[in-house]
Amino acid sequence: MKVYRDIRLLRREIGRLKRKGKTVGFVPTMGFLHEGHLSLVRRARKDSDCVVVSIFVNPVQFGPNEDFKEYPRELKKDLALCKRCGVDMVFVPGVRSMYPEGFSTYLNVEGLTEGLCGAKRPRHFRGVTTVVAKLFNIVSPDIAYFGQKDAQQAIVIKRMVKDLALPVKIKVMPIVREKDDLAMSSRNTYLDRDSRKQAASLHKSLKAARELYKKGEKDSKKIISRMRNLILAEKDAEIDYIVIVDPETLMDVKKISGKTLVALAVRIGKTRLIDNVILN
Ligand code: PAF
């Protein structure tokens, strides 16, 4: 496994492999890797000749009062995990090489980025699409992998790829959960024991949504109301949003008929968590 910090050197090596007809699978991450990331890496390992992982805590996708500084970083452990999973190349750029002096080119997907997480985090997706487009441009992957936990991110990236005719296939992999069903996230590390217990209400409410739907409930308002009650029973829980939306357009669905996304963001104390489920 090779570790690259330099864009030019990584590009040169990938170019060499591509000229030999090798395929590249790419997993972009912000590090502090967990089973969720590793499930993407394992899938990439199965699909492609060469697996590239990027580790870069992207400052541009954090708001001014968000956790960029505190975001957990553990490069040594991340590299060991990558090696164990058969990664070929890890790209660990510095902030200056991703955002050189005078950087002023941002990419924004309109509409899809305005609701859900975008409503409270107005520049977040602009930061995500900008860095992902740049990473795609550097790595030239045939397939790139994203987790379903960040459902809106995956939808936005698919839109960007389609709109700009980027030559990459996007694969979205299922949510990986902890033993207590909490969706795996690097931010789970912020939760103390008590908050962790309260965080179980996110999945509990999504499960309730699925059960209500299975029993024949199609009214989104009623389902959301049940979910709200379950979450607000926890003393430190503050709901950012609970939505039932079309999984491509993110438009509200009032009466559920086809494939539908139930997504939520909840603060437990200072930690903001997201989770979702697809009703089919
Ligand atoms: O999902 C993430 O970890 C990040 O948003 C991503 C896609 C690596 C971009 O920084």
For 61-96, how does the pLDDT look when each residue is reduced to its tens digit (9 = 90+)? 999 999 999 999 999 999 999 999 999 999 999 999
- What is the predicted pLDDT for the residue at 124? 98
CA distance 1 to 154: 27
- How far, in Å, CA of 188 to CA of 192, rounded? 9
Q: What's the CA dihedral at 158, 162, 163, 166 to 10 degrees? A: 100
* Fold category of 186-275 in CATH: Pantoate--beta-alanine Ligase; Chain: A,domain 2 (3.30.1300)
Q: How many whole angstroms separate alpha carbon 202 and alpha carbon 3? A: 37
Specify whether 37 is catalytic. Answer: yes
Give the start-to-end residue ranges of the domains of the chain. 2-173, 186-275
Mean pLDDT of the chain: 98
Q: What is the pLDDT of residue 23?
A: 98
Q: Which residue has the CA at smallest separation from atom 9 of ligand 1?
A: 128
What is the residue with the minimal CA distance to atom 2 of ligand 1? 29
| Cα–Cα dist 118/188, whole Å | 21
Residue nearest to atom 6 of ligand 1 (CA): 29
| Architecture of the structural domain at 2-173 | 3-Layer(aba) Sandwich (3.40)
Mean pLDDT of the region 40-58: 98
Which atom of ligand 1 is the closest one to the Cα of 186? 3
Q: What digits encode the pLDDT tens for the residues 113-166? A: 999 999 999 999 999 999 999 999 999 999 999 999 999 999 999 999 999 999
Model pLDDT for residues 205-259, shown as the tens digit of each residue: 999 999 999 999 999 999 999 999 999 999 999 999 999 999 999 999 999 999 9
List the catalytic residue out of 34, 37, 124, 203. 37
Residues with CB under 6 A from ligand 1: 28-30, 58, 61, 128, 131-132, 150, 153
